[in-house]
Amino acid sequence: MFTERGLRILNMILEDSEGLSLKQLADHFDLSVRSIRYDLENINDVLEDEGLPTIICKRGGSLYVEEKEPIAKYLESLDDFLYSVEARKKFILCTIALTGEINITTIGRELDVSRTSIKNDLEQIKTILASYHLELLPSHRRGLSLEGQENDIRSLQMEVLLEQMSGAGVMNLLTDPVIDGYLDGIDIAKVEDFLYAIEIETDNIISDHAFEMLKAYLIVAVKRNPHNSLLSPYPNEAYLTSTSEFQVIANQVSMLNDACHIHLSPHELAEITDLFIGSPSYNFPNTYYKNWFEVEIIVNKLIQRFSDAYGLDLSYDKELIKDLIIFMKPLLYSHYRHVQQDPHVEEDSRQLYPKIHAIVEKVLRDIDGLPAHHFNEVDKSLITLYFRAAIDRNQYRLKPNKNVLLVCGFGYGTSKLLGQQLKQHYDVTIVDSIPVHRLRKFDHLDEVDVVITTTKRDFPTIDKPVVIVNPVLTAHDFNILEQCNFPKVSKMFLLSKLVDSLKSNPSPYNRKMLADILKGDLGDMIIDDLTESKMGLIDHLPLENISVNVEAKDWREALEAAGEKLVNLGYVEQSYTKSLIDSFEKYGAYMVIKEGIAIPHTKNDNNVLKTGFVLITLKNEVMTPFNKYLKVILAFASIDDTDHLDALTEFSNLLIDHDLQNISNQIETPAELLNYIHMADDSSCS
């Protein structure tokens, strides 16, 4: 009889097309190669007894099966296995969660184990149930029944479903029938169509993990709804029902209600809204406006402080800025609202990139207002990977070349090989190659940036960085060199590609046109080092961009004045003003960042000509649609969603350190207001 692990091994071999090895199986199951060989012997014994092809172990440890189809058909007919204790407990938990009950005698017969074994399993499972505030209580003629609040039962069912949906094959042989019974009668396609409709209407494409999580929740809601298993009022429900996402979900839910013959309550719609708002996105969705000010300021400070600590300016990297904004917004929301994020990270960044990871940890701790203690290792690892990718994109900002002195004790051949490897992978100049004993007599040490040596003991003390590597560079050596900021050799491309790009576009060119053509044609093969210098608040606010004591009868007229000023100064087209007003009417509650002060803006719908700001103060306060007063308006338009961030951060600091609303009541001319901003900026720099 196959064991559960034996079946998993056999399935992996059958599904593999590249020659799975003993070592790979041992690593996958965290076992020794000897244990895997023992499992293979047992598998082959069963296959031989059934007259089926056996697994052949080739020289080098690769595994091979001559005919896979007969074995696959045989496995489909099997219904008898030796299951592990973990698989048994997983099955019992799944049964309890999805059926709401468990009968010890029935389960014992089904699994061919004693009542004592099942009782021991249940004691451990009760601990899991307690973490969901649930318990098992005796039930007449049913054995044990799952008891607790509806919200907690749904949380458990959703987690069990998510785990089952992410598993496959032999892992779910026991639990699949339970899952199939639970899903019977539910049209999964209709559930997915409902989520697709929400994504389209909100312009928010969520991640796969978030999509599966929402799908699992909706399946549970559909299953529980006909039994009058209703939720209690959802925390923060008043806020959630006021969001545009809730309105979209409420408008679309009829398609799900009609297809599944249910009626989801407002409490359930609020929870769906909460899960959706907290979902990681693949784009800049409309939910970008929610907490946008807080998120953008945090991201800008995060990048600035990381750049200072690492020694490489990443504040120009617009891809990094967008990546972090998209990542941080649902992350912050999920921490405040306790929404679960995707727990899977493919690489352990702490081991791969220790320097970057350490800086990320420190910066997260040091930023005011950031709940750094809520950031788990997965969060930190993902942020580390974003910075790692940005560092690779911006290596050219480091010193373009390092002068290296090779100090090798093994002779000319070894030093020549090491130098060749270094030049193949990094942008370095080999100043010289010398043995260790000549180091004290070397006359040009002042021309050297770093010494690379293969000598691991008794190396002389010198006033230069020393990196110890192996004569033939290993993966560990490459990691050390990258941690020391050795600039990698840039990818090369054919001159013919440049020529073809230029031939396909008519002359004459200006510098920007030529850069845009080459970037468009060559994409990631070209490094953009023509980024314009950053502009702060003062750079964006010359005197003509400021108006004071503007008369407006209401908030709409105030925004029209700001929009027209952006138009007249050449930052935007006329249509931007209407979009600005529409955006403020819909999301303005998030744009009033402090009592009396708003930063209205909207997305670039091909109507922004260049990034620009205007600052206006109103003669009299006006009331907004969300019962907040408005006195000071900093309106802006951004060409690419990132150009405005430095100015925004400086405006945030201005608001923290100064009472701009009250000061605006005392200012009578634009020049006075501009002078005040200059003085505030000077004081913050002193």
Tell me which range, 123-132, 176-185, 391-400, 648-657, is most confidently predicted by mean pLDDT: 123-132
Q: Which residue has the higher pLDDT, 29 or 10?
A: 10
When pLDDT is cut at 50, 70 and 90, the band that residue 604 belongs to is: confident
| CATH class in words for 4-77 | mainly alpha
Q: What span, in angstroms and rounded, lies between the C-alpha atoms of 327 and 298?
A: 12
Per the model's pLDDT, the better-predicted residue between 76 and 169 turns out to be: 76
Distance (Å, rounded) from C-alpha 594 to C-alpha 631?
10
- At 491, is the pLDDT very low, low, confident or very high (cuts 50, 70, 90)? low
CB contact at 8 A, 49 and 55:
no
Q: Which residues contact 442 (CB under 8 A, 6 or more apart)?
A: 405, 432, 434
Architecture (CATH level 2) of domain 537-685: 3-Layer(aba) Sandwich (3.40)
Contact 289, 260 (CB under 8 A): no
Tens of pLDDT, residues 307-328? 988 888 888 888 888 888 877 7
Please, what's the b/e burial string for 177-201 (b: 16 or more CB within 10 A of its CB; e: otherwise)? ebbeebbeebeeeebeebbebbbeb
Taking only the tens place, the pLDDT of each residue in 542-582 is: 999 999 999 999 999 999 999 999 999 999 999 999 999 98
**Nearest 10 degrees: CA dihedral of 186, 189, 195, 196?**
-170
The yes-or-no verdict on residue 81 having pLDDT over 70 is no
DSSP β-ladder status, 450-453 and 466-468: parallel
Window from 121-130, 216-225, 519-528 with minimum mean pLDDT:
519-528
Within 21-66, residue ranges assigned H as helices are: 22-29, 33-49
- Kindly report the pTM of this predicted structure: 0.56
Q: Specify the CATH class of 399-483 in words.
A: alpha beta
Dist. CA 434–CA 415, nearest whole Å: 8
Q: Rounded to whole angstroms, how far apart are CA atoms 681 and 664?
A: 16
CA angle 322, 325, 326 (to 5 degrees): 85
Closest to 262 (Cα-Cα) out of 315, 314, 198, 191: 191
Whole-number pLDDT of residue 607: 92
Across the chain, what does the average pLDDT equal?
81
Q: What average pLDDT score do residues 249-268 get?
A: 91
Whether the predicted pLDDT of 368 surpasses 70 = no
Cα 524 to the center of its chain, rounded Å? 21
Check whether 72 has a pLDDT greater than 90: no
Q: Please tell me the predicted confidence (pLDDT) of residue 474.
A: 82
Under 8 Å CB-to-CB from 583, ≥6 apart: which residues? 289, 600, 601, 602, 603
Radius of gyration of the chain (CA): 32
> Looking at residue 170, what is its pLDDT?
43
Most distant CA pair in the chain: distance in Å?
Answer: 97
Work out the percent of the chain whose per-residue pLDDT is above 70: 81
User: For the chain, how are helix, strand and coil distributed in percent, rounded to 5?
Assistant: 60, 10, 30
Q: Please tell me the least confidently modeled range out of 336-340, 443-447, 485-489.
A: 336-340
Amino acid at 461: T
- Report domain 85-182's class: mainly alpha
Cα–Cα distance for residue pair 12/391, rounded to 1 Å: 37
Rounded CA-CA distance 290/325 in Å is: 12
pLDDT for 172 beyond 80: no
Mean pLDDT is highest, among 75-89, 108-122, 480-494, for 108-122
